[in-house]
Amino acid sequence: MRRALVAGAGPAGIASVGHLLQQGLCVTWVDPSFTAGALASYADVPANTKHSCSVLSTHPSCAVLSSHHSCAVLSSHHSCLSSSQHSCAVLSTHPSCAVLSSHHSCAVLSSQHSCAVLSSQHSCAVLSSQHSCAVLSSQHSCAVLSSQHSCAVDTLWDALRNVIPHGLPSGAPTLAFEEMCANARQLKHNPDPSKLGWTGMAECAAVFRGLTGFLLEQPGVECVRGRVDALHLRDSGQWRASIRRSQVDVDAVVLATGGTHTRAPPSLEPTGWAAAPPAARVLDVDEALQLPKLRRLVGPDEHVAVVGGGHTGVVLCRFLHDELQLPRVRLFVRRPIMLAQWSSASNGYTSWAYRGLKGDSADWALAHGMVGRKPKNGLLQAGGRLELYHVDSLHTSADAGNVDAVAFCLGVSPAALPSLFKVVDNEIQTVEVAGHSHGVLYDANGQTISGLYGVGMAFADDEYTSGEAYPEAGFLPFSLRAAEIAREISLKS
């Protein structure tokens, strides 16, 4: 039987394993800890993935019923779905949304502005609607669609349903999901009309850890604790993976190795702008996002600067301001802080769908008068402790002076990949991953690297809803890509 290797057990690796098993492949799964990847570090961080109305939702406009064996999913502005044990009939009462699915076949219809979804027991389908989109998974397959103008409502529910093709297994994952649903929070300030609940990364991590445990128990999964150090493409077309001192031969490799916080460019380093030595300490963003560690990293009277006005930068400002109660928190941004724009007509985010703030961070930024403001280079609100500056003013001693510590929240770059080699004319050559698209990796000559795929934070494709390229990073896109890759690998068998 063909075997694939998945490197990484974050959300993207978990989805990859689920979909590869679904395609009938055996999987060697490698990760140092199997604790849901980066999510393990972000217990205190609010998620920017919308929690959807779901099986367990008590949202008044949502009536849902789902079972262990089959399912159908949809999301719409006002209503929802039902599903029964072996067959399903789904409906939505939203005027612009209609869905129908049955035991062995399916029917879908999509409406003018909203979404339509279907599920069937043995097949899959894809559809798209004019302005928005939806996703579903069923017992043996899944279906995906993409839209013309906007991105998916990246609901956690959609994503989780899609991670394991037959849905969320009973036991630990379902219990964690139930708890997440029970504790979902509403926003106070952000005018997101859907009023769906929001959750935190700790809750997400608990569900993903439950899924990890489930997958590790599946026949055909070999668990290897460690890191893939090197990969050699052999003449046979197989890859030989080196993990510590052992080696394993596989037919295909999926890299789900995640990202690291992007380093500051030399022009922003504190030595370039500190008023007087010693220059400000640079905080490790991963550590700063963990409250207990942040409390050790920063003293109670210190002045801290955060550079970058995305989700991470705002979360960190919030920690420093609300949790540590620092006397002065300075945020340096390139442009006004933007929210992801929700459209109730299309039941999805339209502009700034990924780049803009969502959830609790959006709420908090609104409450503190941060959103849409040109940096005013000073206090945001009279009597407050939050200051907003343009990043260029880092170089003026008045604004950047007396900063004790700085955190650069400038996005995420791919984590270091295993070393890649191939043999050409009896010579071992290094292979460089120079690009990627739709999970396919390219070498420096623009050639596809055979049998090697990438998914997750390190290999997210760009989306353009903010007018500029921005990685389409989220549980749902990762999961959809993992499904595509698994299908591609199985087709090559």
- Enter the tokens of residue 320: 């420093």
- In whole angstroms, give the CA distance from residue 139 to residue 339: 36
168 near ligand FAD (CB under 6 A): no
β-strand partners of 437:
440
- In whole angstroms, give the CA distance from residue 317 to residue 320: 5
Of 19 and 78, CB closest to ligand FAD: 19
Which of 4, 5, 10, 342 forms a contact with ligand FAD (CB under 6 A)? 10
Please name the residue ranges forming H helices in 245-367.
270-273, 285-288, 291-297, 311-318, 359-367
Of 312 and 346, CB closest to ligand FAD: 312
- Enter the tokens of residue 341: 């724009």
Residue 362 contacts by C-beta under 8 Å, 6 or more apart in sequence?
187, 189, 190, 192, 339, 340, 356, 371
Which of 136, 474, 480, 485 forms a contact with ligand FAD (CB under 6 A)? 474
Which of 206, 231, 256, 406 forms a contact with ligand FAD (CB under 6 A)? 256
Q: Identify whether the C-beta of residue 33 lies closer than 8 Å to the C-beta of residue 158.
A: no
Question: Per-residue string for binding with ligand FAD, 381-420, x by CB under 6 A?
Answer: ----------------------------------x--x--
Which of 475, 480, 482, 489 forms a contact with ligand FAD (CB under 6 A)? 475
- Enter the tokens of residue 132: 């928005």
Of 129 and 312, CB closest to ligand FAD: 312
SS3 labels along 441-461: EECCCCCEEEEEEECCHHHCC
Which of 17, 20, 27, 45 forms a contact with ligand FAD (CB under 6 A)? 45
Residue 86 beta carbon to ligand FAD: minimum distance, rounded to whole angstroms: 32
Residue 283 beta carbon to ligand FAD: minimum distance, rounded to whole angstroms: 13
Q: Identify whether the C-beta of residue 453 lies closer than 8 Å to the C-beta of residue 488.
A: yes
* Choices 98-106, 252-260, 266-274, 366-374; region in contact with ligand FAD by CB under 6 A: 252-260
Question: Per-residue string for binding with ligand FAD, 186-225, x by CB under 6 A?
Answer: ---------------x------------------------
Residue 111 contacts by C-beta under 8 Å, 6 or more apart in sequence?
96, 97, 98, 129
Q: Is the peptide bond before 32 cis (omega within 30 degrees of 0)?
A: no
Residue 372 beta carbon to ligand FAD: minimum distance, rounded to whole angstroms: 21
Which of 20, 28, 29, 37 forms a contact with ligand FAD (CB under 6 A)? 37
39 near ligand FAD (CB under 6 A): yes
- In whole angstroms, give the CA distance from residue 20 to residue 488: 10
32 near ligand FAD (CB under 6 A): yes
- In whole angstroms, give the CA distance from residue 64 to residue 81: 5
Question: Per-residue string for binding with ligand FAD, 226-245, x by CB under 6 A?
Answer: -xx-----------------
Residue 179 beta carbon to ligand FAD: minimum distance, rounded to whole angstroms: 17
User: Where on the chain is the footprint of ligand FAD (CB under 6 A)?
Assistant: 7-13, 30-32, 37-39, 42, 45, 47-49, 201, 227-228, 256-258, 289, 311-312, 315, 415, 418, 456-457, 473-475
